[in-house]
Amino acid sequence: MQRPRSITLGLPSVMCVCALVFGVPFATNAQSQDSTGMKLSRTVVAANAQTRPRPKVRMGPRRPPTRERVPPASAADSSAESAETIEADVSTRSVEVTAGFTGHEILVFGSIHNSQQPTDDSGYYDVVVVVEGAPEPVVVRRKSDVAGLWINTSSVTFASLPTYYAIAANRAIEEIAGPNVLDKLAIGFAHIKMTPAPGYKWSFSEQQLAAFKAATIRLKQKEGLYVVQVKDGVQFIGRSLFRSTVSLPANVPVGPLVARVFLFRNGEVISAHIARVTLERAGLERVLHNFAFRYPFSYGLFAVILAVLSGLLASAYFRRQTG
Amino acid sequence: MSIYLPIAEMSVNVALFLAMGGAVGFLSGLFGVGGGFLLTPLLIFLGIPSAVAVGTGSMQILASSVSGAIAQYRRNNVDVKMGMVLVGGGIFGSAIGVGLVRLLRLVGQFDLFVALSYVTFLGAVGALMLIESIGTIHRTRSGKTVSARKTGQHSWVHGLPFKMRFHRSKLYISAVPPALIGAFVGFMAAIMGVGGGFVLVPAMIYLLRVPTSVVVGTSLFQIVFVMAATTLLQAVQNQTVDVVLALLLIVGGVVGAQVGAIAGGRLKGEQLRFLLAGLVLLVCLRIGWDLVAKPTEIYSIGPVIGSI
């Protein structure tokens, strides 16, 4: 008696689910095409760096490309014609966040053109690699004891903070350059630009603000989103090659990543290079996320139908099992 | 094996969440409760953002209640008219609750509000259940017969307007109290990610004096419709329903519930209520402790949620 009923109930419901999963988000399917297109260009290119001199140096996280060349090293011995430039790339230009995403390791590598350093361990140059997620506003809240309960009582909204920030260098960044240089380039946790959101009224002392900033960095570090590797975070190979591995954690916020690579000599930046990594949802991850945020009503209906069907199918199954 | 959740945006261990769904399902099968009051705090402890835990919880409750509701309906244990009044109020309350979730997330007090709601309701319901079950156990031990519920009592409830006849419950009462109870439960559902059976059932028995034979069926009827509405509203307003997470919990939950129901058949009602009361109070204390204990980290960080 019950067997045919559960089948007649099961078949259309499975078809419904299939129709919903594959039928609704047409737009998102179309979009995922270009991400596969991107994948084709995911090749490791470093060899042609030497043949094609690129004097354009871009510094700072969000500055439009400028023609201006970084002033040559302050070191007196380096003459203008032998100025070093740095070239870099990343091993993976496009990282896909799929249902099985558990983090990803990217390799940032490159070479110093016109390298003057005699050996890889001479300490002649310093290389700093900063991999950053897109800046986003964040709100930082502070709890205090209100009548025995710990309640969020004050908050600061920072206009933009990198969602992810990994820094690697061949030695401690404070040893590499002075605070002014680091501030200007936003290198190091203490030098990330943290400014209030527009229209935000400050009612905190400098000291309180500093505590908020420190807490923000601390929390981001605890989440594994702010990472620092300074002891051999960047390794030199021979006179001009260098490499650095950066581990993107499983909870890395999805969005474009920028890898900035700086070449330091005597505490001054003598060359810099920017490489980009796209970090995108792919597959079912992308379909479901876009579905939920672009068509929330259909997604809600889908969730309801899915819940009802799975509940009914499960009980139909168990009823058959127990007779 | 781990899976990346599309809405919670984190990678979780599949086995852990299946097991958790199974454990909660086992307890809900054992005690005959929805289990939302256990599931949502557990999800939050495991690092799921509280708004996602609440939104996804309603989807899980919908799945776990729907088959029970249909079974009760087939056995004619549902007072549909009463259920409709409860659902009407419930959807209204849920809409207010979902709106409040948005507002509270905006001002950064959502976690606090959830914790306070849990402590209040679980504390009250747990304490009442504990007292009642201990009383019953004592009376049955001393050999006295348990007095049946008195019927036909009149209270202030009967003086209210909009009287309706609820044939199945054999009641002629105002529609206002059931609508209010429904609204209150719907509100709780949206804020706490619970089905609200633990409030709905006692309220129907003690306030509305609905016969016990239709209480469970009617409350399941209400829970199914209100949970469906809440899931939809959370998805539309807050985008906090994670279907992948919900499916993990549902799969674990249905299996656990079957095992729990078998185990539950071997225990007496008042023993079950005593154990359940203990469990409810434990969850209450655990959440309450986090509110009063000095946190190791007094700062927290969150995304800026778009203005209203």
CB contact under 8 A, B241 and A311: no
Domain boundaries, chain A: 45-280
Q: Provide the shortest C-alpha distance from residue A141 to chain B (in Å).
A: 5
* Residues A110, A235 contacting (CB under 8 angstroms): no
Confidence of residue B17 (pLDDT cuts 50, 70, 90): very high
Q: Which of A9-13, B15-19, B142-146, B263-267 has the lowest mean pLDDT?
A: A9-13
Q: Which residue of A has its CA nearest to B225?
A: A304
Report how many domains make up chain B: 1
Q: Summarize the confidence of residues B162-167 as an average pLDDT.
A: 77
Q: Which domain holds residue B48?
A: 12-142+168-291
| Among A144, A145, A310, beta carbon nearest to B63 | A310
Q: Give ipTM to 2 decimals.
A: 0.84
Q: Which residue of B has its CA nearest to A151?
A: B112
- DSSP, collapsed to helix, strand or coil, labels residue B5 as strand
Establish if A318 touches chain B: CB-CB under 8 angstroms: yes
pLDDT digits (tens, 9 = 90+) for B229-246: 999 999 998 899 999 999
pTM of the model: 0.74
Q: Which residue of B has its CA nearest to A142?
A: B299
For residue A314, the chain B residues in CB contact (below 8 A) are 63, 67, 250-251, 254
Establish if A146 touches chain B: CB-CB under 8 angstroms: no
List, in order, residues 6 or more apart from A196 with CB less than 8 Å away. Answer: A156, A157, A158, A159, A202
Distance of alpha carbon A311 from alpha carbon A297, whole angstroms: 21
E strands, A18-170, where?
A: 85-90, 94-97, 104-113, 126-133, 135-146, 149-162, 165-169
Q: Summarize the confidence of residues A104-132 as an average pLDDT.
A: 89
Distance of alpha carbon A116 from alpha carbon A263, whole angstroms: 12
Residue A200: is it exposed, middle or buried by C-beta count within 10 angstroms (0-12/13-18/19+)?
middle
| Residues in A 264-283 with any Cβ partner in B closer than 8 A | 281
CB contact under 8 A, A250 and B10: yes
List, in order, residues 6 or more apart from A129 with CB less than 8 Å away. Answer: A88, A108, A166, A167, A168, A169, A233, A234, A244, A246, A259, A260, A261, A262
State the Rg of chain B over Cα: 20
Q: Provide the shortest C-alpha distance from residue B3 to chain A (in Å).
A: 5
In a domain, B103, yes or no: yes
pLDDT digits (tens, 9 = 90+) for A223-247: 899 999 887 889 999 888 999 999 9
Q: Which of A29-43, B22-36, B168-182 has the lowest mean pLDDT?
A: A29-43
In a domain, B95, yes or no: yes
Confidence of residue B145 (pLDDT cuts 50, 70, 90): low
pLDDT digits (tens, 9 = 90+) for A268-302: 999 999 999 999 999 888 999 999 999 999 999 99
Establish if A311 touches chain B: CB-CB under 8 angstroms: yes
pLDDT at A82: 62
* Residues A66, A58 contacting (CB under 8 angstroms): yes
Q: In a mutagenesis test of the B interface, which of A165, A308, A322 is the best target, namely the one with the most B β-carbons within 10 Å?
A: A308
* Residues B296, A135 contacting (CB under 8 angstroms): no
pLDDT at B49 over 80: yes
In residues, how long is chain A? 323
The H or E element that residue B189 is part of is helix B176-192
- DSSP, collapsed to helix, strand or coil, labels residue A137 as strand
Distance of alpha carbon B305 from alpha carbon B94, whole angstroms: 21
Confidence of residue B198 (pLDDT cuts 50, 70, 90): confident
| Residues in B 214-233 with any Cβ partner in A closer than 8 A | 227-228, 231-233
Q: How high is the mean pLDDT of chain A?
A: 76
Q: Calculate ∠ Cα A301-A306-A311, nearest 5°.
A: 130
Distances from the Cα of B171 to the Cαs of A122, B154, B157, B174, in angstroms?
92, 12, 12, 9
Which architecture, in CATH terms, is A45-280?
Sandwich (2.60)
Establish if A99 touches chain B: CB-CB under 8 angstroms: yes
Distance of alpha carbon A262 from alpha carbon A260, whole angstroms: 7
Confidence of residue A214 (pLDDT cuts 50, 70, 90): very high
pLDDT at B245: 94
In residues, how long is chain B? 308
